[in-house]
């Protein structure tokens, strides 16, 4: 009896601990968002002011350099106002204050994401470096700060602006960086491996069962992964591939397309009857609330591989999946696949399965496709759901 009571108390405490952790994480997230917003307001102000001075020929490169030196001399605690960064601020202001960009964003997202706000300037800080009348005049003339800009950090914006030419790409990576909470290095890699194209392009690697159970799977799972960070030799075994992935799990999860993946185990044992089977890698996807089994292959995709994977999914759903979880998902990760064979195999599969190829080296960026509509819609839906959940908790 005492053991039973202790178990109940432990569960109750775990529930309380979980609520406290959730509260801490939420407050930290809100604090980080507030700091980011204040920083971007300063960026918008400085970028807009310098942009106007340059365009009116009042200032040249020498004056911008002198401004950077002056800020550093007068207040060494102010970081991020080097000459190079000031020009990055000008670039951000010029690009995101343009009518073309604002019209594009308004055509893709609901008003709440493109609502314009007057930049809340940190006058106490800025008055140390700029005359107060300039601050007041600029505040009235610089225009409004688009809320879409607040979705990610200044360093991420610089990476996006320098490496993405189309508005489609720029908007996607703003949304993606916000959704996946990407830092600068993570975003840099996502742009380098063309996540925009591999995530949004039309796919034929998803089974009927996948599309039925998970209608958003097309913009959740990639069909091509770049595993250059594994440093695999030209010829490698499945065991080598498996161990290398586990050693580089953080990078692998990012390459899967979402930080929502949680690693469960390698060679997860499935006991069926008197026989034991092992799923190469088992994950749990928090957003989909589903187990995800990944089978690794070092040879070209063969339809028989799908039968093995579907058997594993059946075992997971019967013996491992919890009542509140969705049907288990299966992925075959292989170095190559005949797309016609994949299409035939997927057309008959009623299990939630997909085939993805892996490349050992990054390839040059492909011609981008303008397929933002579905992704923007999912971002807005997810945002609305998060707000509803937050209101219920209150």
| pTM for this entry | 0.74
The DSSP secondary structure of 121-135, one letter per residue, reads --HHHHTTTS-HHHH
> What is the four-CA torsion angle of 231, 234, 239, 244, rounded to 10 degrees?
10
Cα dist from 363 to 153, 202, 210, 333, 334, whole Å: 27, 19, 28, 18, 17
Task: Say how far apart CA 83 and CA 333 lie, in whole Å.
Answer: 46
Quickly tell me which residue has 């187990």 as its tokens: 291
Residue 315 and residue 277 in contact, taking contact as beta carbons nearer than 8 Å: yes
DSSP-based three-state secondary structure for 277: strand
pLDDT of 364: 45
pLDDT of residue 200: 84
Note the helical H segments in the chain.
2-55, 61-74, 83-96, 99-108, 111-114, 123-126, 132-141, 154-163, 167-180, 184-192, 195-200, 208-213, 238-247, 249-256, 303-319, 339-348, 372-393
- Are 44 and 145 in contact, with CB atoms under 8 Å apart? yes
Task: Give residue for tokens 């579905």.
Answer: 374
Q: pLDDT 10s digit of each residue in the chain, 394 long? A: 455 555 557 767 777 777 777 778 778 777 777 888 888 988 998 899 899 889 989 888 899 999 999 989 988 888 889 999 999 999 999 999 898 998 888 888 876 666 555 444 444 444 444 445 455 455 545 667 888 999 999 999 999 999 998 999 999 999 999 999 999 999 999 998 889 988 888 788 999 999 999 998 888 898 899 898 898 888 889 999 999 999 999 999 999 988 999 999 999 999 999 999 999 999 999 999 999 999 999 999 999 999 999 999 999 999 999 999 999 999 999 999 998 999 999 988 899 999 999 987 654 444 444 456 666 777 766 666 656 655 555 5
Tokens of 385: 């759901």
- The residue extents of the domains of the chain are 2-151, 203-367
CA nearest to 345, candidates 360, 358, 330, 328? 330
pLDDT of residue 17: 74
Q: Among candidates 184, 193, 200, which has minimal Cα distance to 225?
A: 193
- Give the dihedral sign, CA 330/200/249/339: positive
Tokens of 136: 């007041």
Are the CB atoms for 170 and 161 separated by under 8 Å? Answer: yes
Q: How far is CA 240 from CA 237, 245, 333, 356, in A?
A: 5, 9, 14, 19
Q: How are beta strands 224-226 and 116-117 bridged, if at all?
A: unpaired
- Cα separation, 314 vs 328, in Å, equals 8
Task: Please name every residue paired with 355 in a beta bridge, in sequence order, or none if there are none.
Answer: 332
Q: State both tokens at 107.
A: 């055509």
Question: What's the pLDDT at 263?
Answer: 95
How far is 201 from 49, CA to CA, in rounded Å? 40
Contact 315, 275 (CB under 8 A): no
List the beta bridge partners of residue 282: 265, 293
Burial class (CB in 10 A: 0-12, 13-18, 19+), 81: buried
**Which two three-digit tokens encode residue 106?**
């308004």
Determine the Cα–Cα distance for residues 250 and 371; give it in Å rounded to an integer.
Answer: 28
Write down the architecture of domain 203-367 according to CATH: 3-Layer(aba) Sandwich (3.40)
**CB neighbours of residue 102 within 10 Å:** 17
Question: Checking phi first, is residue 364 left (phi over 0); if not, alpha (psi -120 to 50) or beta?
Answer: beta
Q: What are phi and psi of 240, to 5 degrees?
A: -65, -45
DSSP string of 252-274? HHHHHT-TTEEEEEEEEEEEETT
Find tokens 């030799």 and name the residue: 233
């Amino acid at each position: 009896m005492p053991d039973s009571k202790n178990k109940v108390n432990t569960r109750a405490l775990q529930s309380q601990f979980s609520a406290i952790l959730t509260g801490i994480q939420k407050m930290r997230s809100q604090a980080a968002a507030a700091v980011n917003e204040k920083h971007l307001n300063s960026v918008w102000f400085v970028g807009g002011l310098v942009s106007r001075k340059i365009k009116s020929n009042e200032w040249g490169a020498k004056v911008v350099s002198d401004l950077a030196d002056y800020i550093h001399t007068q207040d060494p605690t102010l970081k991020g106002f080097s000459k190079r960064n000031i020009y990055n601020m000008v670039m951000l202001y010029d690009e995101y204050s343009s009518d073309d960009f604002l019209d594009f964003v308004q055509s893709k997202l609901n008003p709440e994401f493109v609502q314009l706000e007057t930049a809340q300037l940190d006058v106490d800080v800025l008055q140390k470096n700029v005359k107060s009348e300039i601050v007041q005049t600029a505040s009235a003339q610089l225009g409004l700060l688009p809320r879409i800009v607040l979705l990610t950090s200044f360093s991420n914006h610089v990476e996006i602006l320098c490496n993405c030419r189309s508005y489609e790409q720029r908007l996607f990576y703003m949304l993606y960086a916000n959704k996946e909470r990407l830092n600068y290095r993570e975003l840099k890699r996502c742009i380098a491996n063309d996540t925009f194209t591999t995530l949004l392009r039309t796919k034929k690697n998803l089974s009927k069962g996948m599309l039925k159970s998970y209608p958003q799977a097309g913009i959740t799972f990639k069909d091509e992964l770049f595993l250059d960070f594994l440093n695999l030799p030209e010829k490698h075994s499945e065991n080598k591939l498996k161990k290398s992935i586990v050693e580089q799990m953080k990078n692998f999860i990012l390459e899967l397309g979402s930080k929502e993946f949680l690693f469960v185990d390698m060679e997860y044992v499935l006991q069926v009857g008197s026989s034991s089977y092992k799923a190469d890698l088992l994950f749990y996807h928090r957003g989909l609330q589903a187990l995800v089994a990944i089978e690794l292959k070092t040879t070209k995709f063969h339809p028989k591989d799908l039968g093995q994977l579907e058997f594993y999914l059946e075992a997971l759903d019967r013996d491992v999946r919890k009542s509140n979880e969705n049907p288990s998902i299966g992925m075959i990760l292989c170095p190559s696949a005949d797309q016609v064979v994949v299409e035939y195999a997927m057309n008959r599969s009623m299990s939630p399965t997909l085939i993805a190829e892996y490349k050992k080296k990054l390839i040059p960026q492909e011609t981008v496709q303008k397929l933002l509509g579905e992704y923007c819609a999912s971002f807005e839906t997810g945002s609305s759901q998060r707000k509803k959940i937050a209101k219920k908790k209150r």
